[in-house]
Amino acid sequence: MSDPRPGPARDPGPLRSFDPVAVGRLECAAWVAYYRRQWPRLLVVSLRLVHRGFRLNWPRTVHGAWLVARANMAWAPYPDNDPARARRCMRRFYALLRLAHGAPADPARAAELEVAWWAEHRARQHAAGTSDAGPLVAALTRLYAYLYRADEESVRPAARLRAQAMDLSDQWVREGGAPGSPLITAERATLVRSYAALLAAVHQPAGPGGPRAPSGQDAGHGQAGVRGEVQR
């Protein structure tokens, strides 16, 4: 007779094992540092975020956080930023993740999708009178689906919540960026909810055919996750 007791839970792997509360709080702190152009603080927060979010050893954590900070600095100026340099930095970041954890399969593709949502967010920031978050949510959804080899519909709620957190951040910036603003508290809570939704989505069992590749894209082959990028 077979043993009816369930076996030990399968380890989901380092890139699907993150604390949504810690990651959401740290990302909020990183966004605040980014918009206040506090580059040394951004680097410190990025170190904690990369270490907690991606479970890299400390030498790779330092390297990865430096690449993320450089990408942010390349993207930050408006309108004279450097998207190509930002993509190069993020390609190197994703290559570092692939070296450590075997994913994503194509760091260049991951970097392209990453910077694509930054561009959608910036376009929305500077398009007066528009309230359509659809393109931004779609860009985030494509990135999550590619990195996690997940169904787009399963990760869309996480993408929608992250876009809502950006709206709160943008409102905070427009209102002067006060360090003690209640908008930061709301932004932090929304980011925590976003990462909780993402964690739940990437732990959903695949259907009979397995996870679908995002429409119009090649599927990745690993389970990397975007956590902590503040580039907007």
Question: What band does 45 get if pLDDT is binned at 50, 70 and 90?
Answer: very high
| Best CA proximity match to 198, nearest among 69, 64, 15 | 15
pLDDT at 29 over 70: yes
CB proximity list for 204: less than 8 A, separation 6 or greater: 150, 154
- CA of 194: how far to CAs of 24, 25, 211, in Å? 8, 11, 21
pLDDT category at 128 given cuts 50, 70, 90 is low
**Mean model confidence pLDDT for the chain:** 84
54: amino acid identity, one letter: F
Categorize the per-residue pLDDT at 146 as very low, low, confident or very high, splitting at 50, 70 and 90: very high
DSSP state of 6: -
The pLDDT tens digits for 148-169 are 888 999 999 999 999 999 999 9
pLDDT at 37: 87
pLDDT band at 125 (very low <50, low <70, confident <90, very high): confident
Q: Where are the domains of the chain?
A: 18-202
- pLDDT tens-digit series, residues 103-115: 899 999 999 999 9
- Confidence class for position 213, pLDDT limits 50, 70, 90: very low
DSSP string covering 90-144:
HHHHHHHHHHHHS--S-HHHHHHHHHHHHHHHHHHHTSTT----HHHHHHHHHHH
> Exposed, middle or buried: residue 188 (CB in 10 Å: 0-12, 13-18, 19+)?
buried
Q: What is the pLDDT of residue 131?
A: 67
